[in-house]
Structure 1
Amino acid sequence: MANETEPNNPSLNDAGDSAGLAALISRAARAGKGLPPVDRWNPDFCGDLDMEIRPDGTWFYLGTPIGRLALVQLFSTVLRKDEDGKTYLITPVEKVGIRVVDAPFVAVEMNVAGHGDAQLITFRTNVGDVVEAGPSHPLRFVDEAETGGLKPYVLVRGRLEALVARSVMYELVQHGEEIDIGNQRMFAVRSGGEIYPIMPSETLQRLSL
């Protein structure tokens, strides 16, 4: 809220300049010790910020990439996606909108332990989150119509997902298997006691021809 910002700190209503960004960095640093309870904060909306997260996970501010990983990691801890489908940076006193082209995070590495029902797939994101795919962090697979490709996502927290990087996706599908789900045979992957369908087995067979 503009009238609740600290003395000598610019309002985020004017966050399009370096002073406004410095104010956001300062407040995010105080809010972002560990993972702050952003889902419990309900500050006033202070407008949109010219900040964008590209599909490869690169953050841009005013059209320029943010090169400092520590700063990107800091901002990532105060991200929240709301029911309106928009993504915001949240501090206890302000809420600013940013643009996310695809997903806010990218899963850049994975590890597989165990087999069958005991199999567990763990992902690491580009900002350092480590999540185990399962009931709390489900996987989903989306057909990319324009390219005919497959895009897997894993839920990181709240409504925030990580797009599984292409190289990691190839590794992921190597752990897939054909499983009967309901009345259909599916090519799917197991993790954390859950089964995540990738595609019908007949589709996989056509692709393999």
Structure 2
Amino acid sequence: MPYQPPPDLAGMSLAEIAEAVAARKLPPVEEWNPDNTGESGMRIAADGTWYHDGSPITRPAMVRAFAGLLNREPDGSYWLVVPYQKLRIEVEDACFQAVDVRRVDGDLAFRLDTDELIVAGPDHPLRAEGDPDLPALYLTVRRGCEARLNRSTYEQLVHIALDEKENGEVTDLTVTSGDAAFPLQPV
């Protein structure tokens, strides 16, 4: 069956986004705890590029398949997990890149570089790191893995925050989604 990416965020309602999120079937990685462990020879670069043995993985379908198997352990290590084996994977910054955001019916919907859709909220919070002059924003995706907002997505989010400020007064940049508030600058 050929892969059909979800439509552009700009043309989707929150109900359609929720339906697309629910339709994504991910393997139950959190239920698997194999004893057989090893090294994958894989790395996710800070820019979101996936590598195997030093060469970029150029097939998006392979990246999407591997992305569904990612798990982050409490010690901060990352693993690709299947029922019979788990292989360590190096992650330079974040597992995913958030490449688009849109305010839809009061919530913030993000598209990842793997074409996944995530709605920010208590289960998928935004986190600001770095310093106030050069912040880095991260969106919780699943199983301890996060997406870093790329530059244009961060800019989109700042515009959303500025548009929502009353009287044009900006003392801090904050956005809300899913009944939760998220600062866009580290504290």
Fold shared by both chains (TM-score > 0.5) = yes
Identity %: 37
Confirm whether residue 135 of structure 1 aligns to residue 122 of structure 2: yes
Matching residue of 2:19: none
Q: Which one of the candidate residues 146, 149, 173 is aligned to 1:164?
A: 149
Higher-RCO chain (CA-CA 8 Å, sequence separation at least 6): 2
Matching residue of 1:10: none
Structure 1 CA distance, aligned partners of 2:131 and 2:84?
Answer: 38
Q: Which one of the candidate residues 44, 47, 63 is aligned to 2:38?
A: 47
Any unmatched runs of 5+ in structure 1? 1-32, 180-184, 204-209
Q: Which one of the candidate residues 56, 68, 81 is aligned to 1:65?
A: 56
Preserved CA contact (<8 Å) 2:138 2:149: yes
Letter of the aligned partner of 2:112 in structure 1?
A: T
Which protein is bigger by CA-based radius of gyration? 1
How many residue pairs get matched? 158
SS in 2 for 1:175: helix
Deviations along 1:107-152, whole A, 9 cap, x unmatched? 11111124xxxx210001011211100111111111258xx41111
Preserved CA contact (<8 Å) 1:178 1:188: no
Structure 2 CA distance, aligned partners of 1:135 and 1:174?
Answer: 22
Structure 1 CA distance, aligned partners of 2:185 and 2:61?
Answer: 38
Structure 2 CA distance, aligned partners of 1:125 and 1:54?
Answer: 15
* Mapping of residues 168-179 of structure 1, within 5 Å: 168-176=153-161
Preserved CA contact (<8 Å) 2:129 2:185: no
SS in 1 for 2:154: helix
Structure 2 CA distance, aligned partners of 1:178 and 1:140?
Answer: 20
Structure 1 CA distance, aligned partners of 2:25 and 2:89?
Answer: 21
Q: Which one of the candidate residues 84, 104, 110 is aligned to 2:101?
A: 110
* Mapping of residues 1-209 of structure 1, within 5 Å: 34-114=25-105, 119-144=106-131, 148-176=133-161, 186-199=172-185
TM-score (norm 2): 0.78
Letter of the aligned partner of 1:193 in structure 2?
A: D
What is the CA-CA distance between 1:45 and the residue it aligns to?
4.2
Any unmatched runs of 5+ in structure 2? 1-23
Structure 2 CA distance, aligned partners of 1:120 and 1:135?
Answer: 12
